[in-house]
Amino acid sequence: MAKNKFTFDDLNSELAGLNPLGSVMDKSDFSEVTEWIHTGNFHLNACLSGSLFGGWPNNRSCSIAGPSGTGKTFLTLNSVREAINMGYYVIYYDSEAAVDKDQMLKFGIDTTKVNYQPVNTVQEFRTSITSITQKMQEVKRKGGEIPKLMIILDSAGNLATAKEIEDAATGSEKADMTRSKILKSIFRIIMTPLADLKIPFLFTNHTYQTQDFISRQVAGGGCLVPGSKVKMGDGTLKNIEDIVEGDYVLTLMGTKEIENTWTFDKKTYKIEFENGSVIECSEDHRFFIGDANDDPLDNKNWVLAKNLIKNTEVSRYIL
């Protein structure tokens, strides 16, 4: 007789055959943090985990971001030492030639437990980390043992692309638009395997700051010529020279208040879109090249006017 009832237990059985990582939530430890790795700084431990004796979660990816010279690698090496003291092995991907054996020894790191991987391109890093995690997942699925592992990337921001290197070799001045897409691809690919394997992933990245009395993080500058229309917060258009402090404009991050205005004398470019419209702007005016899912706060999703090339997709238009 055909079964006329499909229960939650039946559903669980079906899903178990489709996804070995899934289970009923009360039995799942997939996303559970089972260990905290000391950062080498008690205050940072508390900020990350709520405990002075916590630190980095063992199944999360964490970014150490800041301007150059602020101690990103210093913090990373402290974390490597503490992880090794807890029984971890470390793969250290270095895109800046930032560390060496003597430096690690000065931090008290057991260098016999660190695999050092100089890496130049995002493609190299993607291939390496994907291959390693896939191999370890295969061993785990068969009931084998895998080592406790921490992965470091120092830094994500300094990785080049194969195209960038090729363009440099041939003298091409075309802007490379592939880097941000490949980086996003990497994180989409590795997040689930790293969580499955309980591998903490730390990566450093650079930010850039203004020299204001109260420093702010910014992403490059630029301006439009008088007569350029700007969409205001209420949907109306206004000439850029008529915008004043306190006005609200529509941005990729929603409606924002104008805090300051400036007037510059700069070299300008005329940018023509496929619909025939033209924008005249300074050479360092920035255009958004990401899609709806990309972060407008990420510098990698923008390109300067002087670096634009024909057929570049810009904010849903094609030049």
Residue with tokens 């805090």: 259
Low-confidence winner among 64-68, 72-76, 258-262 (lowest mean pLDDT)? 258-262
The structural domains of the chain, ordered by start, are 19-206 (3.40.50.300), 229-318 (2.170.16)
Tokens of 1: 């007789």
Structure-token match 């470091």, residue found: 152
Q: What is the pLDDT of residue 153?
A: 96
Mean pLDDT score, 225-232: 75
Percent of the chain with pLDDT over 90: 36
pLDDT, tens digit, 9 for 90 and up, residues 185-211: 888 899 999 999 999 999 998 765 544
pTM above 0.95, yes or no: no
Note the pLDDT of residue 223: 63
> What would the mean pLDDT of 24-40 be, rounded to a whole number?
89
Q: How many other CB atoms are found less than 10 A from the CB of residue 35?
A: 17
pLDDT of residue 17: 86
pLDDT, mean of residues 279-306: 76
Q: What is the average pLDDT score of the chain?
A: 83
Question: In the block, which residue shows the tokens 């194969």?
Answer: 162
Total residues belonging to the chain: 319
